[in-house]
Amino acid sequence: MAEVKQLVKGLADQHGRSMESLLPILQGIINQEQHISEDAMVEVARELNISAAQVYGTATFYSFLHTKPLGKYVIRVCKTITCMMHGKNQIIQELEAVLKINLGETTHDRLFTLLETNCLGQCHKGPAMLVNDEPYTELTPEKVRAIIMKYKQQELNVN
Amino acid sequence: MKKNLQRLDLIFKNEHDTEVILRKTIGRKCDDVINDLISSGLKGRGGAGFPTGLKWKLAAEANQPDKFVICNADEGEPGTFKDREILSSVPHKVLTGMAVCAHIIGAKKGFIYLRGEYKFLKPSLQKVIDDFHVLLDDLKIDLRVAIFLGSGAYICGEESALFESMEGKRGEPRNKPPFPTDFGYKGQPTVINNVETLAHTYSILKYGPDKFKDLGVQDSRGSKVFSVSGDTPIPGIYELEFGMSLQKFVDDFGDGDSKAVQVGGASGFCVPRKKFEKTIIGYQGKLRGTSLPTGGSMMIFNSSRSMYNVLHNYLDFFVEESCGQCTPCRVGTQQLLLGIQAVKKGEQPSSYLDRLLDLAEAMRVTAKCGLGQSVANSFSSIVENFREEMIY
């Protein structure tokens, strides 16, 4: 709780305390914690002097703002038409197999969450996905495995 | 393969005359610059096609002290990816257009509303903006441009929803009128232009309105950046002259087996093969019929594709992206989806499709914003042209 308080205060200092700062603050929380907890929402409401319901309303509207805990790396596979035509389902199956989770779930080590998303604007290079903010295009099952390995390796190196 | 269509190179041309253009333009009368834009025939490239010069003129005439210029980079329409390319390869052209607009209407603050999916562009774009600010200071132009990141909501590409989003609220469209040039961001007069529109103003300011006007056909002047995807051997981004027939487009970009082209993304129209010849890409005439406007999304489907699956995918998209504010759109999108599923499974007779077409038309009339109104575009054009694929 104290940590969240610090984080929100820091973000409010950085972005300001007007309504126009709300989305940047919520995005800042996502950058740090991958999700916006109820405590965080209450804290934001207090800092901006608005109702917690208003913060909740905004936080739950946007598909990139999550109010439930997610993994450190959020994988969003594009499911819109051209990516679907170019084999999005195969990519999802591969990710499910490699990560040993189903679509919508988070791995036990809380490293990866697998989600689908709407058009990523990479239609000429489908199938495409985002891992956090990083786009990956022209995916194949082999490529997907290599990408996941890269992130796992990165984690090992950090630890 | 025979190449019919001339590929143009205006937008992506590697040229750096920002300083020359800005010096020249701030020395001119604002009315003259606006008249140049109006006579060039430039219309908004986001898809709606409002005359750009007129938009700037209306905002310039507004009488409030605070005004804003916003670049709409919330490119969420399925099959569109040109703005990403413009912002990564020629962002200075977009900024030049913003600075000229700000100078003309009297705005001191500009924003680029960048969709969350394009966050990876932010560092490089920020660097270009920082350099641009130095130039603005040299020229004594009082403008600061900031990037505002979206968070994954298609509806925020709708201009009034975008303002709401920037104001920290849910991205729910407002009633119109009032229009943004009177009552935009924070209730102040605001010019909001698509990325590509702003980039075009760079060329018009540099080469004059006539060169732009020479391209295209009546009511659809200039060139357009198209995002080509789907069943094509050469997917990608192409700048082409306005006014081409869809047949010529398919001859160049199709795989020889093109069954349909979705013009304008999920909110656009699906054109079947037999209508390729008669369909012209441009703003000319009415929205429906033989002339189709587009934000640049061209998705090609060959005969191996089920149009039922295509429509299902679009409806999934709309069900998720409807903001939920007005009933026709919130409930309508869901009922259209359930409806085509029921017909496919045989739970409803094929005549049920006619009732769904009525529903789609009702949404066109009653939905609050462009999202709900345009669901009927793809729904009706697919169901009417590929009815048998919906049933069997």
pLDDT, tens only, B226-243? 999 999 999 999 999 988
Q: What total number of domains does chain B contain?
A: 3
Asked if residue A82 and residue A56 are part of one domain, the reply reads: no
Chain B residue with CA closest to A127: the answer is B230
B103 found inside a domain: yes
Q: State the total domains in chain A.
A: 2
User: How, if at all, do strands B220-221 and B223-230 pair?
Assistant: unpaired
What per-residue confidence (pLDDT) applies to B3? 59
* CATH code, domain with B54: 3.40.50.11540
A159 CB near a chain B CB, below 8 Å? no
Cis preceding linkage at B65, omega within 30: no
Mean pLDDT of the region A58-76? 97
CB atoms within 10 A of CB B69: 31
pLDDT of B289 reads: 44
- Could A123 and B299 be called an inter-chain contact, meaning their C-beta atoms sit closer than 8 Å? yes
Last residue of a domain, one of B167, B184, B213: B213
Q: Domain span at residue A92?
A: 73-158
Looking at the structure, tell me whether residues B105 and B172 fall in a common domain.
yes
Which domain CATH number covers B383?
1.20.1440.230
One domain for residues A107 and A127 = yes
Residues B62, B38 within the same domain:
yes
Pick the closest to residue A131 from A34, A55, A37, A51 (CA basis). Answer: A34
**CB-defined contacts A:B, below 8 A:** 125
Identity of the residue in A65, A84, A124 whose CB atom sits nearest the CB atom of B151: A65
Give the pLDDT score at A158.
Answer: 85
Answer yes or no: do B208 and B255 share one domain: no
Question: Does residue B352 form part of some domain?
Answer: yes
Average pLDDT over residues B295-304: 94
Residue B1 has what pLDDT?
A: 45
Task: For residues B50 and B79, state if they share a domain.
Answer: yes
Q: What is the pLDDT of residue B284?
A: 60
Q: Are residues B101 and B233 in the same domain?
A: no
CB atoms within 10 A of CB B7: 11
Q: Do B280 and B243 meet the contact criterion of CB atoms below 8 Å apart?
A: yes
Q: Which residues of B touch A123 (CB under 8 A)?
A: 78-81, 227, 229-230, 235, 299
**Phi-psi group of B171: left, alpha or beta (phi > 0 → left; psi -120 to 50 → alpha; rest → beta):** beta
Q: Classify the complex by whether its ipTM is higher than 0.90, answering yes or no.
A: yes
User: Is the same domain home to B109 and B170?
Assistant: yes
Does one domain contain both B89 and B197?
A: yes
Percentage, residues of chain A above pLDDT 70: 99
Would B1 be classed as within a structural domain? no
Averaged confidence pLDDT in chain B? 94
* Residue A67 lies inside a defined structural domain of this protein: no
Q: Which of A24, A80, A121 is opposite residue B317, by nearest beta carbon? A: A80
Say yes or no: B373 and B387 in one domain.
Answer: yes
Q: Which of B151, B154, B310 sits opposite A118 (nearest CB)?
A: B154
A66 falls within a domain: no
